[in-house]
Homo-oligomer: A and B are copies of this chain.
Amino acid sequence: MKATVYYGPRDMRIEQVPDPIIHKPTDVIARITHACICGSDLWPYRGIDQPKPGTRMGHEWMGIVEEVGAEVQTLKKGDRVIAPFLISDGVCAFCQEGLHSSCVHVGVWGRAVDGGQGEAVRVPYADGTLVALPQAIAGDKQLLKAVLPLTDVMATGHHAAFTAKVGKGSVAAVIGDGAVGLCAVLAAKRLGAERIFIIGHQEQRLKLAQTFGATDIILARGEQAEQEILEQTHGGADAVLECVGTLDSINMALHITRPGKTASFVGVAHIDHIPDLGNRFLRNVTVTGGVAPARAYLPELLQDVLHGVLDPSPVLDMTVDLDGVPAGYEAMDKRTALKVMVQLQ
């Protein structure tokens, strides 16, 4: 089969790789129908992370079950499935507690197993990892596109809003206008936020944020942005959803959170500490968030997408086929695309 393989910064290749086969009786093999390129895939692309040459890429995908291991109980050949961005067994204590991202068998697509940006994938712990989609969805291209972001960015945006305790009447502030930030706006709206600030700099994306429910756009940067939000909220937002992961954005999140309230961090950071502890302590700001347990949220979010009350599909503003994946990386790197969908079938 063909798959996307990393060779070095700005060197993603579509290559022939071995077809996946069942290793364990809890595996299934799935043929991939849709995948995405993630903002975090840009790190190796840009050379910030440098995985081994030969590493397979992609952790957001949907597909059709093609082969089923002997111990798999909930899936059969032909089932349409969606995968969260992490593998999880579904039965360990952490999965039972809803924190599938801390599963004792947690795994990452593209490392020990095939990546999502390819024609097929071996799925470990298939009963735990995958969620079946209704068969009727097969003919509805638009609905499939709305489901696809639940693999990662929509689940991550929801994690930010949920862990920051967004509820009816909340004043939320979303830092970042990437796909996760935009999904965090959707999630905050869905959980009842009354006012949703978004801090970003890309005009098109901020317009999309408004259609998703953002009520206040903050174009200023740094301290000026902080001042604007502190003034307009009379002391800070109830829930700050940090969807970038830089030192500046982390600092901003801590500063614009109302005393006694919560900042949730879902932007994967490349720094190793939270600064300004004294300020957090004096103001009783809670710091939460992390790697989203997407598998835990999938059933709930899927129902809303299937019922037409949640639609993150506009974040997917460019579509490529598998051979177009390298061009998709380039478009996201140059910000001519927000997020790329890979359509295989």
Contact = CB atoms under 8 A, between A and B. Distances in A.
A288 interface: yes
A262 to B, nearest CB: 8
Query: Which DSSP category, helix, strand, loop or mixed, fits chain A's interface?
Result: mixed
A195 B277 CA distance: 29
A288 B290 contact: no
A300 interface: no
Given A283-B102, A284-B99, A290-B284, A269 B259 contact: no
Contacts of A22: none
Contacts of A284: 99, 101-102, 163, 288-291, 293
B102 A260 contact: yes
The count of identical subunits is 2
- Size range of the chain A interface in the assembly: 35 or more
Given A272-B276, A274-B274, A94 B287 contact: no
Nearest to A234: B93
Interface string A235-271: 1000000000000000000000001100001001101
A237 to B, nearest CB: 14
Interface string A98-137: 1101100000000000000000000000000000000000
A281 B260 contact: no
Nearest to A102: B259
B265 A269 contact: no
Contact of A275 (B269, B273, B282, B283): B273
A276 B278 contact: no
Residue in A271, A277, A282 with the greatest tally of chain B CB atoms within 10 Å: A277
A58 to B, nearest CB: 21
A319 interface: no
A285 interface: yes
A293 B101 CA distance: 34
A277 B272 contact: yes
Contact of A259 (B94, B234, B286): B94
A272 B276 CA distance: 5
Contacts of A13: none
B278 A269 contact: yes
Interface string A157-172: 0000001000000000
B281 A277 contact: no
A157 to B, nearest CB: 15
26 contacts: A93-B235, A94-B235, A94-B260, A98-B260, A99-B259, A99-B260, A163-B286, A265-B281, A268-B281, A269-B278, A272-B275, A272-B277, A273-B273, A273-B275, A274-B274, A280-B287, A280-B290, A281-B290, A281-B291, A282-B291, A284-B290, A284-B291, A285-B290, A287-B287, A287-B288, A288-B288
